[in-house]
């Protein structure tokens, strides 16, 4: 099946959504402003759920996913989908949950190659010390996403 694409607006800028009837295969920020395009029918539900997420109306995605990657990458990406909304875990915890504590670097590499940002929530993985370590979209984007998912928003006094 041929992949189709659409550009959608998000609070973080323009993003490219990709997929086919088998499921979503890509979602990433473009890094620049681009005019939204019409949505192929196979991407309409994904776009709807993404917009609901950004409006704070959705905490989980119920989409068919079809990312391309090695079996190891697939296993890491599947584990990422199990991190609850509003939660984080460390790379070492993720490695341990996959049964190989020594695979931290490989897990981090697979995390960084996640082609379906936000839907496969790689932004929820942080350093063991709680630091916001690497994120392909930039640490500001990662911080924004984690703050967006916080159940209690801190009120600003000034």
- Which residue numbers are catalytic? 122
- What value, to the nearest 5°, has the Cα angle with vertex 14 and ends 110 and 59? 60
* Euclidean distance between CA atoms 40 and 43, whole angstroms: 6
Angle formed by the axes of helices 104-112 and 71-80, nearest 10°: 80
146, 88 contact by CB (below 8 A): yes
């Amino acid at each position: 099946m041929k992949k189709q694409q659409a550009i959608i607006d998000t609070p973080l800028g323009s993003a490219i959504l990709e997929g086919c009837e088998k499921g979503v295969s890509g979602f990433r920020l473009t890094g620049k402003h681009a005019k939204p395009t019409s949505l192929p029918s196979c991407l309409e539900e994904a776009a709807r759920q993404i917009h609901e997420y950004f409006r704070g109306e959705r905490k989980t995605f119920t989409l068919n996913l079809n990312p391309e990657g090695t079996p190891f990458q697939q296993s890491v990406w599947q584990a990422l989908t199990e991190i609850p909304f509003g939660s984080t875990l460390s790379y070492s915890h993720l490695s341990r949950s996959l049964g190989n504590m020594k695979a931290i670097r490989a897990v981090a590499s697979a995390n960084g190659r996640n082609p379906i940002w936000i839907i496969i929530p790689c932004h929820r993985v942080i350093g063991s010390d709680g630091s916001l370590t690497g994120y392909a979209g930039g640490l500001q984007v990662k911080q924004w996403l984690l703050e967006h998912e916080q159940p209690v928003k801190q009120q600003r006094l000034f």
